[in-house]
Amino acid sequence: MRSRFNINNYSNLGQRAITAFFGALVVVGGSIYSDWTYFFIFAVILGFSQMEFYKLSGLDGMLPLKSFGTFLGLMIFTLTFLIEKEQFPHEYLYLMFPLVSLTLFIKLYRKTDKKPFTGVAFTYLGIFYVAVPFSLLNLAVFSVDQVYHFEILIGCLLILWASDTGAYFAGTKFGKTKLFERVSPKKSWEGFLGGAFSAIAVAFVLARYFHVIEDWKWLVIAGIIIIAGTYGDLIESLFKRSIEIKDSGHILPGHGGFMDRFDGLLLSAPFITAFLKIF
């Protein structure tokens, strides 16, 4: 009989490698193919990530507006993409202010909420913590001459993945000195340094082949990802520990949920975008 492929038959490392390979294939391939495939792929990632955040908030007794909050996040992502693509004028971004304000109107009519403003706060937090960083990627990929450059996105992702991979293997092999034991007992300074070395090595390679930005900027981006990405991982760990769970979800075998996979990007994206826009 022909055996069926079942990813659950593999070890955690095996599942992690398989998921990373096919996930990277979709993300990298789609981002290179066109700006519209990039938009679609990251809109899906954003939607799942924001829904995960609201689901986790619900486990801690919060009542955010899951569907409406995710809709607002996707609207911000869509508007920033279309504005950067110069299909909409910048004035359309003002639409977000009345749309976001509708959260208060909706909560006003929710009779079951004992603490409505807590729900409003977590609805907004899901937008600012998840949707805004993903939306800022649109500003980053269009930061050079208002033309879509997949090299910027792919470069940032490769540096981030190299940092995560280097930290994982260095921490597993050599990790002894705790990095932030109160929040994440398994993370170590050895892992951090391994991730930093891998990220900088990839940045040097990118500087040689991706000339859409100056060489030195890739090194600065690597530095941002090393620091901000690590803090992003720690912040998500703090969030998960506060509600006593291990992973944000189970949709990505070996990785957990979308927030587990993209937590470093959530904190890195604002700094990277600001850097590219200012310099």
Question: Which residue do the tokens 């193919």 mark?
Answer: 33
User: Using the 8-state DSSP alphabet, how is residue 8 labeled?
Assistant: G
Q: How far apart are CA 246 and CA 240, in angstroms?
A: 7
- List strand residue ranges (DSSP E) for the chain, in order: 178-180, 184-188
Q: Which residue bears the tokens 């992702």?
A: 157
Residue positions counted in the chain: 279
Copy the structure tokens of residue 107: 């909560």
CA 66 vs CA 53, 54, 263: distances in Å: 9, 6, 19
Decide if 265 contacts 133 (C-beta within 8 A): yes
State the pLDDT at residue 71.
Answer: 96
Q: 148 is written with which tokens?
A: 């879509």
pLDDT attached to residue 5: 56
Task: For residues 159 and 88, give the distance between their C-alpha atoms in angstroms, rounded to a whole number.
Answer: 32
Instruction: Please name which of 225, 202, 203 lies closest in space to residue 216, comparing C-alpha atoms.
Output: 203
> Which pLDDT belongs to residue 160?
95
**pLDDT tens track, the chain, 279 positions:** 445 656 555 566 677 778 778 888 999 999 999 999 999 999 999 999 999 999 888 877 788 999 999 999 999 999 999 999 999 999 999 999 999 999 999 988 887 777 888 889 999 999 999 999 999 999 999 998 889 999 999 999 999 999 999 998 999 889 889 988 888 888 899 999 999 999 999 999 999 999 999 999 999 999 999 999 999 989 988 887 777 776 565 666 655 678 888 889 999 999 999 999 999
pTM of the model: 0.90
CA pseudo-torsion sign 170, 45, 50, 72: positive
Please report, for the chain, the start and end positions of each structural domain, with discontinuous segments joined by +.
34-146, 149-278
**Residue among 119, 94, 96, 97 at smallest CA distance from 108:** 119
pLDDT attached to residue 155: 96
Residue 109's φ and ψ, nearest 5 degrees, are: -100, 5
